[in-house]
Amino acid sequence: MKLKILYTLALALFYSCSEDYATNIKQESDVESTTIDNEWSDNPYKLNIVYFVPNDMSPVPDYESRIEEIIFDAQDFFASNLDRAGFGRTSFGLDIKSDGKLNIITVPGQQGKNAYPYSGGGGVIVNELNTYFNENPEEKKSEHTLVLLPSTSGDPLNPGGVPFYGYGRYCFALDYEYLDKQYLGEDSNLGNLATKWIGGLVHELGHGLNAPHNIGRKTVKSTLGTALMGTGNGTYGKSPTFITAAHAAVFANSQTFSSDTRSDWYSKETANISNLKGKVENNKIIISGNFTSSGTVATINVWHDPYPATANNEDYDALSFTSKPVGQDSLYIESPLDDFHKLDGQYQLRIGFIHENGSRVIRAYEYEFVNNVPNIEVINTKNLIDRSSWSIVEADSEEDNGPASGMLDGDLSSFWHTQWKSTLPGHPHHFVLDMGAETTVKGFAFENRSGLNGTIKDFEMFKSNDGENWTSLGTYSLARVQNIQYIDLPSVQSFRYMKLVTQNSHGDFDYTHLAEIHAYNN
């Protein structure tokens, strides 16, 4: 509690040093007390609302009452959308004080405003808040935090200058004099500003509650409007704005929306697709298959994202669909082509397994439209051989956080990565796979991690039954994609050990990496 007392004293000191603070800030006793019956006051986890003030600034007048109204309105917006999407009227929990007011944690920054710029300032704030919450754990009500800062632009009609984005489970927004719900919907400069910055706040809050960007389906535009996590930050409060069903599924399995207490929130889970098929039927893309998972999968989302993404449009045009698992181990999702905004070019298909504990596992594939028809069959899997007895018995180089064993754990976020930190050995790199016994193999399958710089390009494979005498299986190439890639051998063969020797990597890096390796026999 020592640091908490110091924070309280620091806050009181910088308030007292502001000459006009007493005249500009309404004292709590001056504000009419209104008890609010909050529908989600019993949620065991609450969204942390932090008002972060650099030590050379003061809060914007009336920030508590203005922000409270905006947050309560956003809470209802989320609840209405989740209800429409079939998840019930549920929303993020909030910490409500005994007088019915929203608990906004006002934290004085340790540095001046220049230490918290838009670019890079979020990380500095997170570090300070981690220290604050470590010393005051009773004030942290969940893993999700919305941080607001006073605008540093000096112009209330052109606010800015502070972090305004979301990453991890933190999201950032700004406060300025006219950040007030009363202006939402007005056909005026203040109304346009309110939509931009309040809509932006709610959009970033979506990121802080686990949602990526996406776009609404073409067929619902006329009725539901613009997706919040697309360009809804520019329509919120002004024209119809909504949360897509896929994002409603994400929020429904987010910690602050839960009515249950559990100790494993966001604990890492794995999910593997053992069989995947794609086809076009009745003007729909149909994705089906089987999967295994270390935890309970609550929902499966599919994104069709025009690919490659551009710097100005990363994921904003990703079309999303959602479905419940079929039984315990099957998936089936339909994506009507009438919902697509364009039927040409390349797409990235992402299949997301959302677990009950909020953990997400994403598998990605690439396909393209040819003459307005998706070549979705490219995602179809082969029958992979069981790997439970496999091991990597040799690797020429690996980082501590990139062991070669990561190629056999079914987790794309763990992978073999050759050394690059302290030393940087060049190609060729190699590893030796032991399949545990002589195995009949038609070919090998490879999966890359999401970061594709340095992926294996050209390589040679060798076979052996004793791990000492090697015979070449031929030279091959892999593409710089996340799709699972199948490499057929010249003929079906039986052997125990396979050695892979790289020749180069995409981008001509000295290092390389690989997330998963499999084999198939038919």
- How far, in Å, CA of 384 to CA of 114, rounded? 55
283 in the same domain as 245: no
Full pLDDT tens readout for the chain, 522 residues:
444 444 444 444 444 443 343 333 333 334 444 445 789 989 999 999 999 999 999 999 999 999 999 999 999 999 999 999 999 999 999 999 999 999 999 999 999 999 999 999 999 999 999 999 999 999 999 999 999 999 999 999 999 999 999 998 999 999 999 999 999 999 999 999 999 999 999 999 999 999 999 999 999 999 999 999 999 999 999 999 999 999 999 999 999 999 999 999 999 999 989 899 999 999 999 999 999 999 999 999 999 999 876 555 568 999 999 999 999 999 999 999 999 999 999 999 999 999 999 999 999 999 999 999 999 999 999 889 999 999 999 999 999 999 999 999 988 889 999 999 999 999 999 999 999 999 999 999 999 998 899 999 999 999 999 999 999 999 999 999 888 999 999 999 999 999 999 999 999 999 999 999 999 998
Domain annotation covers residue 385? no
Sequence-ordered list of residues with C-beta below 8 angstroms from that of 444, at least 6 positions apart, any chain: 461, 486, 487, 489, 498, 517, 518, 519, 520
| Number of domains within the chain | 3
Residue that the structure tokens 């609550």 belong to: 298
CATH number of residue 54's parent domain: 3.40.390
Tokens of 279: 């086809």
59 in the same domain as 178: yes
113 in the same domain as 241: yes
Domain annotation covers residue 39? no
From edge to edge, which strands make up the β-sheet containing 297-306?
319-323, 297-306, 345-355, 360-370, 373-374
| Packing angle of the helix pair 2-16, 121-135 (nearest 10 deg) | 130
Please answer whether residues 480 and 455 qualify as being in contact, where contact means their C-beta atoms are separated by less than 8 angstroms. Answer: yes
407 in the same domain as 365: no
Which pLDDT score, from 0 to 100, does residue 17 have?
40
Domain range holding 79?
Answer: 2-18+44-257
How far does CA 45 lie from the centroid of its chain? 20
Which pLDDT score, from 0 to 100, does residue 307 have?
83
Which pLDDT score, from 0 to 100, does residue 315 have?
84
In terms of phi and psi (left: phi > 0; alpha: psi -120 to 50; beta: otherwise), the region of 159 is beta
Helix (H, G, I), strand (E, B) or coil at 284: strand
Beta strands 46-53 and 93-94, pairing class: parallel
Output the CA–CA distances (angstroms, integers) from residue 213 to 109, 317, 353, 435, in the order listed.
Answer: 30, 8, 17, 41
332 in the same domain as 456: no
231 in the same domain as 286: no
Please classify residue 35 by burial: count the beta carbons closer than 10 Å to its beta carbon, then call 0-12 exposed, 13-18 middle and 19+ buried: exposed
72 in the same domain as 220: yes
- State which amino acid sits at residue 240: P
69 in the same domain as 166: yes
- How far, in Å, CA of 114 to CA of 100, rounded? 35
302 in the same domain as 229: no
109 in the same domain as 228: yes
